[in-house]
A = this chain, B = another copy of it.
Amino acid sequence: EATTDGIDLAVVAGDGIGTEVVEQGLAVLEAALAPSGTKLSTTEFDLGARRWHATGETLTDEDLERIKGQDAILLGAIGDPSVPSGVLERGLLLKLRFALDHYVNLRPTRLFEGVTSPLADPGEIDFVVVREGTEGPYVGNGGALRVGTPAEIATEVSVNTAFGVERVVRDAFARASARPRKHLTLVHKHNVLVHAGHLWRRTVEAVNAEFPDVTTDYLHVDAATIFLTTNPSRFDVIVTDNLFGDILTDQAAAISGGIGLAASANINPDRTAPSMFEPVHGSAPDIAGQGKADPTATILSVALLLDHLGYTQESVRVQDAVAADLAERGDVVRTTDQVGRDIAARVTG
């Protein structure tokens, strides 16, 4: 059930193709909400490369406070080659994920009918990666000494807590339990990263007791990349750490038709702050402003947003519209706007 009478949505279009795909995502969102008369109030946040160049700011405390007052965030893409690497990622995108406690980074992977996989024999692909979003090597707990000298040393610390691992593992089990196959695969590298890995492993074993209907297995991250190539059908729900999840979900996108189709949700399951919905792809400055970007990943992220806010039927309508569009897409090249318009028309029915 919807948690509000209407939706107050923070819109962070961001950089490059972000603006273009978000526009279409919003059009589809409007179309999905129209029948129920649900009011959508959007607030645009000027965040990203432009703002940083103009003001030196990435995300101020004030921005963050205003965003916290919204029901959800729709994000396009963050990043531009003109900004030093890491500034916007750490200062804006990851800051949002961490500050809003998006500990479930949800990335569904599905090979839709009509979509060609680069795999010769992909089989049925329908799994979801539950990537931890607030710990691991992403915590920013690194440093460097004697930078630029032959004696330089740089460290990156992966931080993993029982608190953080348990909550994301429990969420992943709940998702697995609600799916027909009820299978959960833990991916880590516990034969090398023994401390973090054993924490993850023990946690999966312990939480399994709460979900006795869910079967589990374990794969080292390197082996997981093999199975994603040779037998992706074996996966139902994958739970994994922040960095492994980053890597595996790009590979997952690749085998299921590319990052033009890969949606993601940064979820705060406790609803203490708004969740954030964004395509897996980046800002793609090389094709920005040309109407070439595929808005489908953003539109599927909108479906995740609707589902999270309790608009279940509306979410299904959007997913079905995307599925129908993909099934008939063929080789026809359409602009970003056209794809958005076509999918919105299907949602309207």
* Residues of A in contact with B (beta carbons under 8 Å apart): 79, 85-86, 89-90, 94, 116-121, 137-138, 142-144, 146-163, 166, 189-199, 201-202, 221-223, 225-226, 228-230, 243, 246-251, 253-255, 258-259
Contact = CB atoms under 8 A, between A and B. Distances in A.
A157 B154 contact: no
A137 B192 contact: yes
A195 B258 contact: no
As for how many copies of this chain the complex holds, the number is 2
B250 A226 contact: yes
21 contacts: A79-B191, A89-B191, A90-B192, A119-B119, A119-B120, A120-B120, A137-B156, A137-B193, A144-B199, A146-B162, A148-B202, A149-B162, A155-B157, A156-B195, A222-B247, A222-B251, A225-B248, A226-B250, A228-B251, A229-B251, A230-B254
A248 B226 CA distance: 10
B161 A196 contact: no
Most B CB atoms within 10 A — which of A90, A94, A196?
Answer: A196
Contact of A85 (B116, B146, B156, B191): B191
B196 A142 contact: yes
A163 B249 CA distance: 33
A215 to B, nearest CB: 18
Contacts of A157: 155-158
A130 to B, nearest CB: 17
B247 A191 contact: no
B155 A192 contact: no
A190 B154 CA distance: 12
Contacts of A193: 137, 142, 156
